[in-house]
Structure 1
Amino acid sequence: MNNIITKPDFTKLELILPGEVVQAGKGEFYLIRQDIEKLCYDAENLMRKYQDIFNLSIDHSRLNNDFRSLLTVDPKEIVFLDIETTGLSNTPLFLIGLLYFDDDNLVIEQLFARDYSEEEHLLHYFSEFVPKFNVLVTFNGKSFDIPFIRDRMIFHRKFANWKYTHVDILLHSRRRWRGVLPDCRLQTLEYYICQRRRLDDVPSALVPEIYHDFVRNGNPEYLLGVFHHNALDLITLFELTCALIIMELD
Structure 2
Amino acid sequence: MIRIEHPIEFQDTYDLTRIGSLDELLFFDIETTGFSGDTSSLYLIGCTWHRDGRWNMTQYFADGPEAERQALTEFFEMLKHYRVLVHFNGDGFDIPYLLKRCAHHKLNYSFDGLVSLDIYKKIRPLKKLLGLDSLKQKAIERFLGVDRTDVFSGGELIEVYKEYLRSRDDRLFHLLILHNEDDLKGMPCILPILNYPDLLEGPLSLAGHSRASLRDIFGREAPMLDLCFESPCSVPVGFEAENGLVNMSLEKNLLKFRIELYEGELKFFYPNYKDYFYLPLEDTAVHKSVGEFVDKSARVRATAKTCYTRKNGLFVPQFEPLWEPALKRELKDPVSFTEYRRELFEQPETAQQYGRQLMRYVTGKGRG
User: TM-score, normalization: structure 1?
Assistant: 0.72
Classify the secondary structure of the residue corresponding to 2:63. coil
**Could you give the per-residue CA deviations for residues 186-231 of structure 1, whole angstroms, max 9, x where no partner exists?**
12222331521215x2111111111111111111323323222212
**Could you give the per-residue CA deviations for residues 63-119 of structure 1, whole angstroms, max 9, x where no partner exists?**
xxxxx5x1xx31110111100001111211010011111221121211101111100
189-198 or 88-97, which moves further after superposition? 189-198
Alignment map for 1:82-97 (pairs within 5 Å) = 82-89=29-36, 90=38, 91-97=40-46
Change (3 A) 1:225 1:178: farther
In structure 1, distance between residues paired with 2:122 and 2:185: 17
Q: Cα RMSD between the aligned structures?
A: 2.0
Shift of 1:150: 0.5
Partner of 1:208: 158
Shift of 1:53: 5.9
Shift of 1:234: 1.7
In structure 2, distance between residues paired with 1:141 and 1:77: 18
User: TM-score, normalization: structure 2?
Assistant: 0.50
In structure 2, distance between residues paired with 1:190 and 1:230: 17
Give the fraction of aligned pairs with identical amino acids, expressed as a percent.
27
User: Is structure 2 residue 83 aligned with structure 1 residue 139?
Assistant: no
Partner of 1:34: 6
Letter in 2 for 1:84: E
- Give the one of 121, 124, 128 matched to 2:70: 121
Partner of 1:231: 181
Indicate conservation of the 8 Å contact 2:24/2:82, yes or no.
Answer: yes
Change (3 A) 1:204 1:178: farther
Classify the secondary structure of the residue corresponding to 1:174. helix
User: Is structure 2 residue 136 aligned with structure 1 residue 164?
Assistant: no
In structure 1, distance between residues paired with 2:68 and 2:125: 35
Change (3 A) 1:33 1:178: farther
In structure 1, distance between residues paired with 2:186 and 2:61: 21
Classify the secondary structure of the residue corresponding to 1:167. strand
More strand by share: 2
Partner of 1:187: 138
In structure 1, distance between residues paired with 2:117 and 2:77: 20
Partner of 1:102: 51
- Give the one of 126, 139, 158 matched to 1:176: 126
Classify the secondary structure of the residue corresponding to 2:171. coil
- Give the one of 202, 221, 228 matched to 2:171: 221
Higher relative contact order (CA 8 A, sep 6+): 1
Classify the secondary structure of the residue corresponding to 2:107. coil
Letter in 1 for 2:195: I
In structure 2, distance between residues paired with 1:224 and 1:186: 23
In structure 2, distance between residues paired with 1:176 and 1:107: 32
In structure 1, distance between residues paired with 2:104 and 2:173: 25
**Could you give the per-residue CA deviations for residues 25-73 of structure 1, whole angstroms, max 9, x where no partner exists?**
xxxx211123223xxxxx4xx23x44x564xxxxxxxxxxxxx5x1xx3
Aligned length: 196
**Could you give the per-residue CA deviations for residues 134-160 of structure 1, whole angstroms, max 9, x where no partner exists?**
000111111100100000011001011
Indicate conservation of the 8 Å contact 2:61/2:71, yes or no.
Answer: yes
Q: Larger radius of gyration, structure 1 or 2? A: 2
